[in-house]
Structure 1
Amino acid sequence: MEFLLNFLIWSPDPNMFVIPGLNHPVRWYGLLFAGGFIVSQQIMFWLFKQEGRPEKDVEKLTVYMVVATVLGARLGHCLFYNPGFYLTNPIEIIKIWEGGLASHGGAIGIILAIYFFSKKYPQYPMLWMLDRLVIVVALTGAMIRTGNFFNSEMEGTMTQSEMGVVYARFTEEVLKYDDRKIDEVVFEKGGDMVSNEAGKHPITAKILYNRGVELTDTDRRFFENQLRNALLSYEEVVQHIDFGKDQPLAYKFYTEDNRSVAEIYGLGISRHAAQLYEAGYCILLMLFFFWVWKNKRFTLPMGFNFALFMVLLWSLRFVDEFFKMSQEDFEEDLILNMGQTLSIPLALSGVVMLIIFFQKGKKTMSGDEFNKS
């Protein structure tokens, strides 16, 4: 990974570490996903304590939230983005470890979970709960989107400029074609290829071999045929690094520090860091709604935080989708992608709720009237 003031070459290992003895990797995404719930639970403990509510009830709430988020997000992805495949292959729905979570489905799952939670524990009105949950939901969303960035997924559209991110992780995996011979693969800015397009930058992929490995004519033929074909065949490579589909692979072999090195030249395609854009505005939403809860909950109507959150989050998400690559092929032919289509009714529902809550305006966000009844 290399970062200067123009573009970032991004190729982190999605595994944070491997558990000794079990040979099981702990991934950044999973850690950030779980960490979002852990940190959110601690914040909810504090909020409940400030309002004189039993902290032990947060533990019950956490179970509802975790189950609802995971199930809702998974089912949302399956039904919104590829229903034909999952309905004919239902066993694939449970393979959550293979990826595929939709935030719109997670949002619906959370709302349903709070409905059932409030039914079981009537001392917690649904809107009272949602007014506080938006604070931690925004935080968890920021951490999950950061995990997406570490996974090099949900990449953005081309920036057409010197700024942006070149996602090189999958290319690195292709270039590590033989773990017995290769020590590591690193990327550097600059190289022998010349760019005539805005947003495409010369970069160099350096394959560093283990000491004692010598590159031969057999390796040259492998580079010029099998490796070139692989680099030009995988969509995950072509979308991010252009190795020149109409020309021979540009590379060279040499020795450095008494070991063999292969350099391959390409053009990195800078893209928007759409995941971090979303993480950024989720952090701002968290801070804003915490401020509203702290300073305005005794004057604003119950449900205000939640309604305004729905308007702001899904409106921002609608805009953010313009900077994201399509998640499924069918979205290429749509005027609005699936994320935008799903965001519109959720944002509009927030507008309707704001109007209704202000017209009624009997109970404040603090829920004092409810507590006294």
Structure 2
Amino acid sequence: MAFLSYIIWNTSPEIFSMGSFGLRWYGLLFAVGFLLSQQVLYYIYRKEGKPEKDVDTLTIYMVVATILGARLGHVIFYQPELFIEDPLSILLPFEFSPFRFTGLQGLASHGGAIGILFALWLYSRKKKPGQNYLQVLDRIVIVVALTGALIRLGNFFNSEIIGLPSNNPLSVVFVNRVTESIISKKDSPVQYVKVERNKDLPEGANGRVPIYIYVVFKPNVEQMIAKNYLESDVQYYLNYFNEHIDNQGAALKYKADIDGDGNYTARISTFGIARHPAQLYESISCVVLFVILFLIWNRKKENTPTGLIFGLFMIILWGLRFAYEFLKEDQVDFEAGMALNMGQILSIPLFIAGILILIWSLRNKEKTNI
């Protein structure tokens, strides 16, 4: 067996929680992305002799446009039924019964892109020197790439936007949703859960890999209660999360024991599904894109041909997005059987727009107000 055969990801998406409020890695990385982007924009505006206070205004435009655009884009492109079935959930970051903070669940990058394009058009109408529409976009997309990298890293922590099954050495088995469900169920008798490779069995085809799930129960939990929880609730979760665990509906295979602290434990033998870490592919690509665009800007700064950076951004980002979608699972049921999924269909016009803008920029190297 190869030294690096697959990675087990069992990190909680939540940093901490207090009552109905929980701080998640996704939300933190989302916020950090905007804070870092603001600092980079300060640097760019200082070097170009533009007012730094304009960055504060741009940041507000960007935050509002990204959140509203991404949320509305997700609903329009992927869940239009929410407009009729549950319109309040579209923009409310919490649930009522029971009350708990959830954040805005379901954000689409294409919707965020449309929101940003519209918001910056509104901003550019102020006719500030050196800040026409394309000039602003040229600077903004540099930091959009940086923010996108952190957002995709947040998707990885959430175990969402998962890739297809793979036997690639760096494939990932996402088990944190499974282990969290086992522990966090109301009145759960489980103290903690850990997952390890089962090195005694060979890996299967199509990402099927052997794993051990160790369930450690709380002190003084009776053996019968533990046994019932294993064979009912734990069995249910292993079958329910069939995108991560390949239990095939079989009866639970486990070995029970008492650990050194006197706690009842069980070692479950099952199979995980190793997948392409598509979120990390996109995150790393966005970091590289950020570096490329920043270096292009840094060569000539305010003398960079108008539209050059924006055009390259649109071509590279949406071209890669189109390609990476071939490594991902469908995000929604209606994509099953489609030759191209929704993400790819939405990427095509943005990619073409990038080509047209780049051609225009190269033909008009003198900066032009648009």
TM-score, length-scaled by structure 2: 0.90
- Residues 336-355 of structure 1 correspond to what in structure 2 (within 5 A)? 336-355=340-359
Match of 1:249 among 233, 252, 258: 252
- Percent of pairs with identical residues: 43
- Residues 203-352 of structure 1 correspond to what in structure 2 (within 5 A)? 203-216=211-224, 218-232=225-239, 234=240, 237-245=241-249, 247-257=250-260, 258-297=262-301, 300-352=304-356
Equivalent residues of 1:195, 1:267 under 8 A apart:
no
Alpha-carbon distance, 1:178 to partner: 5.7
Equivalent residues of 1:193, 1:267 under 8 A apart:
no
Which residue of the partner structure matches residue 74 of structure 2? 77
- Counterpart-to-counterpart distance in 2, 1:10 and 1:195: 17
Which residue of the partner structure matches residue 58 of structure 2? 61
Kindly provide the CA deviation profile for residues 98-125 of structure 1, in whole angstroms up to 9, marking residues without a partner as x: 5110001101111111111010243221
- Residues 1-373 of structure 1 correspond to what in structure 2 (within 5 A)? 5-18=4-17, 24-96=21-93, 97-123=103-129, 124-176=131-183, 177=185, 181-190=189-198, 196-216=204-224, 218-232=225-239, 234=240, 237-245=241-249, 247-257=250-260, 258-297=262-301, 300-363=304-367
- Structure 1 letter corresponding to 2:136: M
Alpha-carbon distance, 1:293 to partner: 0.3
Equivalent residues of 2:161, 2:279 under 8 A apart:
yes
Equivalent residues of 1:241, 1:267 under 8 A apart:
yes
Kindly provide the CA deviation profile for residues 44-68 of structure 1, in whole angstroms up to 9, marking residues without a partner as x: 1111111111111111111111111
Equivalent residues of 1:193, 1:202 under 8 A apart:
yes
Aligned length: 355
- Structure 1 letter corresponding to 2:258: T
Kindly provide the CA deviation profile for residues 37-94 of structure 1, in whole angstroms up to 9, marking residues without a partner as x: 1111011111111111111111111111111111110111010112133355322211
Equivalent residues of 1:193, 1:265 under 8 A apart:
no
Distance 1:336 1:201, change over 3 A: same
Alpha-carbon distance, 1:15 to partner: 1.4
Equivalent residues of 1:195, 1:201 under 8 A apart:
yes
Equivalent residues of 2:162, 2:278 under 8 A apart:
yes
TM-score, length-scaled by structure 1: 0.89
- Counterpart-to-counterpart distance in 2, 1:83 and 1:198: 33
Q: Secondary structure at the match of 2:275?
A: coil
Distance 1:219 1:193, change over 3 A: farther
- Counterpart-to-counterpart distance in 2, 1:149 and 1:229: 24
Q: Secondary structure at the match of 1:333?
A: coil
- Counterpart-to-counterpart distance in 1, 2:52 and 2:338: 47
User: Where does structure 1 lack aligned partners over 5 or more consecutive residues?
Assistant: 365-369
Which stretch of the first structure deviates more once superposed, 132-141 or 348-357? 348-357
Distance 1:64 1:221, change over 3 A: closer
- Structure 2 letter corresponding to 1:255: I
- Counterpart-to-counterpart distance in 2, 1:221 and 1:249: 11
- Counterpart-to-counterpart distance in 1, 2:43 and 2:257: 60
